[in-house]
Structure 1
Amino acid sequence: MGDSTDTSRAAVKTYVPAYQKSEWQSHADDLDMSQSEFVRTMVQAGRKGFDPEPNATAEPDSSGSDPGGNALETQVLELLESDTYSWDELLEAVADDIESRLDETLEELQADNRIRYSGRHGGYTVVDGDGDGD
């Protein structure tokens, strides 16, 4: 892996009107994406001058192995454009991404009170409609 490529993750926060957040969440849900993944994808698409490469956009009817927008394919291609990677290095780079995405998703679900961590249940659990999660 190239020494100049930093693959660590960092949080980015922004504030938008509630209606906009709701619209983004709805669109992300339609695309079967987390809100974080949706925002990252839209920012990257915007950075490509609003003329994204074929299969690089997140369309609900996309074909291929990743109908949610070819996120893994895009990530691998972006990594390989900058350097040569072994299988293990690529696996480490994309595994770090899934760990970060899972962490972000769990934080979002907990913040929305949709899940909680339960020692009694041995991990994360869905919060029931009555709010107690049991």
Structure 2
Amino acid sequence: MSDSTDTSRKSVKAYVPAYQKAEWQSHADELDMSQSEFVRTMVQAGRKGFEPASEEPTSQGSDPGGNALETQVLNLLSTDTYSWDELLDAVSEDIESRLDDTLEELQSDNRIRYSGRHGGYTTTGGGDGN
């Protein structure tokens, strides 16, 4: 983050179904986070796969720098002991589902397509993928 970055807080409004808001609040409570902190952390975690690697400060304190993986690992280890493989399984269990959902969404937005000729998924050339 550069010295000229504006760090003042601004409001963001999002409308979600009531059941989803309740799920988020419940999960935030489990993580001992405010709902705002939870949503901010989840959004930042989701963006990590879409940004080039950046040099972020090492996380400290009760808000682990927006690092949802760190939060998840600490929560898992606070209740039990895990081997490397067990931790890997626990933190990556939903990645296949998330990838499938993302690929479906990108295809329905005509941003990518499956191409046997190209050996898999490829951008369509007309969307944001190029």
Larger Rg, first or second structure (1 or 2): 2
> Taking structure 1 as the reference length, what is the TM-score of the superposition?
0.47
TM-score (norm. length: structure 2): 0.48
Structure with higher RCO (Cα < 8 A, 6+ apart) = 1
